[in-house]
Amino acid sequence: MQNPDWNRGAKLAEPVLMGVLLALVLVLYGYATWGGLITTQDSLDYLSAAQSFRQSGEFLSPDGSPYAHWPPFYPLLLAIISSIHLPLVVFHAFGLVLITILLYVMARHTFNDLTWRISFWVLSLLGVYMLLMAVFVWSELYFTFLLLLLLVVNRLRKYLPWADVFLVLIAFALCLQRSAGFFVLAGLALARVLENPSSVTHWLRIALGAALASSGFLYWQISRSLANASGYNLAAHYFFVDFWHNVGVLLGGLERIFIPFSLPFYGFAFLFGIHLLLVWKYLDLYAKQIYLILGMYLLGYACMQKLDAGELDRYLAPIVPLVFLVVMQGLEAFQKKFSPIVSKMIIGLVLLLMFYSLARTANNVPRWHERPMKGTKSVGLVEEVTWEAVSQ
């Protein structure tokens, strides 16, 4: 049994440790964005929509056509911070702070052992995916914040008054931040239904909440399609046509989170399936719900039109902390059931994963630092880039 004084000291040290990790991620973020945040064509659309909304109350693309291909919440946020003269680089730094707080709360309610909490925080905060979302002018960073907030409120809903109201409001914003929020909402609604599948009243309550949460997103999509804004027509999209291609691309992206090479014949999917079968009974209800949400998120992307492999790290970045959370929770529970040798092997695998993840960060941060320094744009935003945002 561990010394109670040691446990108290460890609990007191956790907030300090989180402060140190936050300071490290902000230092890396500051170095990567020393010359400003990095923009892509999507970024220019966001910025143009924000500027036009401030000036005329309309969301417009850079060419003056209606802004239609993305939901409007991120441009709205950009318009607000611009109106109060808050630098965008500070806004993204603030997003990192908010995400750090939520990751702290999630880990405290998921892992029993401090070592596993530390490993999760290091992988989630100092890994390449978190910084990727922060250094580019993309909507993913605050999408991740809303996603984590949604899951934290869902987990603590028994202790929070009006929790279901907050869940609807957060999901409403999530769907208007990125279209993938609709996939998350579908997964959460299904997970909540399965908590009490025999109750019709429970079903109706969840259905009403999901309808309200998705109403803004659906209104935006339908109104843009009916107006044929910028030639946008949701009904003209060819869903499911590239399903199996997209499944392969997504599996490759997930594989890249854990290992630097590709396994043949869907080997990663096979190994991950074995892992899931072994640890499933050790997971708590909320970890199982997160797995369901992750499955719906990936299924939603698989049903879309042909995915660009070069953009895949961006699509997966918001769910990477959740992938680490559920995989490591299963490993923590699994570790306690076996001999010390197996336990040490599991710890060794986690250390290898941390080394690989931090090595990717060390490889990419200097690249991001150099690119903005070569830019010429004002207000800290630089030239469009079309090559991969993350290298191996």
**Residue boundaries of the structural domains of the chain:** 35-384
Average pLDDT, the chain: 87
According to the model, what pLDDT value does residue 267 have? 78
According to the model, what pLDDT value does residue 388 have? 45
Q: Where do runs of H (alpha helix) occur along 280-382? A: 285-302, 312-316, 320-335, 340-373
How does residue 96 score in pLDDT terms, banded at 50, 70 and 90? very high
Task: Find out whether 309 and 388 touch, Cβ atoms under 8 Å.
Answer: no
Count Cβ atoms within 10 A of the Cβ of residue 59 and give its class: 0-12 exposed, 13-18 middle, 19 or more buried: buried
According to the model, what pLDDT value does residue 145 have? 98
Give the integer Cα–Cα distance in Å for 96 and 234: 33
Q: How many CA atoms lie within 13 A of 163 on its CB side?
A: 14
How does residue 239 score in pLDDT terms, banded at 50, 70 and 90? confident
Task: Say if residue 7's pLDDT is above 80.
Answer: no
- Mean of pLDDT values over 15-31: 94
pTM of the predicted protein model: 0.91
According to the model, what pLDDT value does residue 198 have? 87
Cα 355 to its chain centre, rounded Å, is: 21
**Of residues 67 and 390, more confidently modeled:** 67
How does residue 233 score in pLDDT terms, banded at 50, 70 and 90? low
For 111, the token pair is 């892992």
Task: Find out whether 303 and 180 touch, Cβ atoms under 8 Å.
Answer: no
Task: Find out whether 385 and 36 touch, Cβ atoms under 8 Å.
Answer: no
For 275, the token pair is 């892992």
Backbone angles phi, psi at 308, to 5 degrees: -90, 115
According to the model, what pLDDT value does residue 283 have? 86
Task: Find out whether 348 and 341 touch, Cβ atoms under 8 Å.
Answer: no
| Minimum mean pLDDT range among 72-76, 120-124, 152-156, 230-234 | 230-234
CA dihedral sign of residues 329, 331, 332, 337: positive
According to the model, what pLDDT value does residue 144 have? 98
- Mean of pLDDT values over 330-349: 82
| Minimum mean pLDDT range among 93-102, 181-190, 266-275 | 266-275
Share of the chain above pLDDT 70, in %: 89
According to the model, what pLDDT value does residue 232 have? 57
How does residue 68 score in pLDDT terms, banded at 50, 70 and 90? confident
Bridge partners (DSSP) listed for residue 136: 38
In this structure, what DSSP letter does residue 357 have? Answer: H
According to the model, what pLDDT value does residue 1 have? 42
Task: Say if residue 203's pLDDT is above 60.
Answer: yes
Task: Say if residue 265's pLDDT is above 80.
Answer: no
According to the model, what pLDDT value does residue 226 have? 78
- Convert the pLDDT of each residue in 347-391 to its tens digit: 899 999 999 999 999 999 999 988 765 543 323 333 333 334 555
- Mean of pLDDT values over 284-296: 93
According to the model, what pLDDT value does residue 385 have? 35
Give the integer Cα–Cα distance in Å for 74 and 367: 26
